[in-house]
Amino acid sequence: MRTRSNSISRRQFIRTTSAAAIASTALSSMAIAGANEKVIVGIMGASANGRGSQLASGFAGQKNAEIAYICDVDERHMNKTVELVATKQSRKPEGISDFRRMIDDPAVDAIVIATPDHWHAPATIFACSANKHVYVEKPACHNPAEGEMMLSAARKFDRKVQLGTQRRSWPGIIEAMQRIKAGDIGRVLFSQSYYFNNRPTIGRGRVATVPSYLNYSSWQGPAPERGYRDNYLHYNWHWFWHWGTGELGNNGVHYLDLQRWGMEVEYPSRITSAGGKYRFDDDQETPDTHNVSYDCGDKTITWLGRSWMGKQPSDPDIDVGFYGEKGSLLIKGNGYVIDDPAGHEIAKGTGEGGDSSHQQNFLNAIRVGEKLNAEIEEGVKSTLMCHLGNIAHRVGRALNFDARSGRIKDDADAMALWSREYRRGWEPKV
């Protein structure tokens, strides 16, 4: 289902959304009149390895939300998610391939973004400028400059923007962080996190004809155009710098976010990266083996990712470990264990996981002003950790970071990766 031209520029977007933005501003006090009103939601991206459809299903299941639109560039996934949502709410959402349709609609209160990484920041900025609140999947952005623009847009248009780092809303994880901050393991000096997976090769892509069901031009959106190859969609784009942020941005962001939270770290001062792309002779550009270390003054954070072999018996059976003067706190899944320095368990806790509580927190923030658990400023800071690790890998040396200026120090090559080129007419601006 195609409702407009395949080529949608930012300039066209601004022209077509200006009237909608004015209408949304005028109706802002009417759109959500009170705590009993439903938040009207549009979903952008229904096929990102099932993540978009998972979010659509989750929001449709919230009693105070209703999905009006499912937007995707792949008609197969769009139609499938429309039918899925129709089984969970009384209203059947409209399937669209042009995201402007839901941006233009003043009845839509919030946009949920589950697109590839290169779309996260531009779509968030466009949505905020049309006075829509935003729930955006991790990582927050494709590069550090975009994170700065996302934060500026959220503040300029006074919008609620939540990052999809859902562990921030899990009761067991919240309790674990409270125990760290209460001093249960003393002064925390070190934190280590791990991610293991058994990903197969992506092979060598071949130039191919774009399938009839796919609007590839819209999929590329703000990224400079590249010809279609048969191994890009719908998941392998993660492993190309042009669209993705590698495993560090894909999964590492969840754990680095917890490490920043527990260690009370705003920014690192020195970043080192070791590893590379070792396992397969294929098109992947991002590392499949990656060990990143962040010096943060009097404490250190590390992340180890191995994408070509799943967890082995010799690997730590945890997601994140915090190590302090009085013991350790180890997070696995939605729970935690506290051990004393001798390794004896002295406390533990758990709680509900999943997405529901994080989605409900976002809806409550819109409806009744509840504080967001993963507000975009925190999300951008955690995503920056991923970008710094990737930049250190790409330039092949340690980086020094100046927290006051918010920039990498004395490294022009590294700062050249701070932002990106955009498809003409698609440059995001606030």
What DSSP string describes 69-112? EEE-SBHHHHHHHHHHHHTTSSSPPEEES-THHHHH-TT--EEE
What's the angle, vertex CA 261, arms to CA 341 and CA 238, rounded to 5? Answer: 110
Q: Residue 95 pLDDT > 70, yes or no?
A: yes
Q: Where residue 263 falls among pLDDT bands split at 50, 70, 90?
A: very high
Higher pLDDT, 16 or 89: 89
**What is the tens place of the pLDDT at every residue in 44-62?**
998 645 788 999 999 999 9
* CA pair distance 193, 403, nearest whole angstrom: 23
What average pLDDT score do residues 263-284 get?
A: 98
Please list, residue by residue across 138-164, b when 16 or more beta carbons sit within 10 angstroms of its beta carbon and e when fewer do: bbbbbbbbbbbbbbebbeebebbbbbb
List pLDDT tens digits, range 378-412: 999 999 999 999 999 999 999 999 999 999 999 99
**pLDDT, average across residues 56-76:** 96
Q: Among 36-45, 292-301, 368-377, which stretch is predicted with the lowest mean pLDDT?
A: 36-45
Give me the chain's average pLDDT, please: 92
CATH 3.30.360.10 is the classification of domain 170-353+382-408: yes
| Residue 151 pLDDT | 98
The rounded distance, in Å, linking the Cα atoms of 250 and 303 is 13
Work out whether strand 289-295 and strand 335-339 pair parallel, antiparallel, or are unpaired. Answer: unpaired
Task: Kindly state the average pLDDT of the residues 313-336.
Answer: 98
Neighbours of 258 (CB within 10 A): 23
Distance CA 324, CA 190 (A): 7
pLDDT at 348 over 90: yes
- Contact in structure between 422 and 222 (CB atoms under 8 Å): yes
Q: Where in the chain is the domain with CATH 3.30.360.10?
A: 170-353+382-408
Q: Assess whether pLDDT exceeds 50 at residue 326.
A: yes
CA-to-CA distance for 179 and 237, rounded, in angstroms?
39
Residues of the chain with CATH 3.40.50.720: 10-168+359-375
pLDDT per position as a tens digit, 107-158? 999 999 999 999 999 999 999 999 999 999 999 999 999 999 999 999 999 9
What is the DSSP code string of 17-78? HHHHHHHHHHTHHHHS-STTSPEEEEEE-S-STTHHHHHHHHHHTSTTEEEEEEE-SBHHHH
pLDDT for res 35: 55
CATH architecture of 10-168+359-375: 3-Layer(aba) Sandwich (3.40)
- pTM score, whole prediction: 0.92
Pairing of strands 65-71, 39-44: parallel
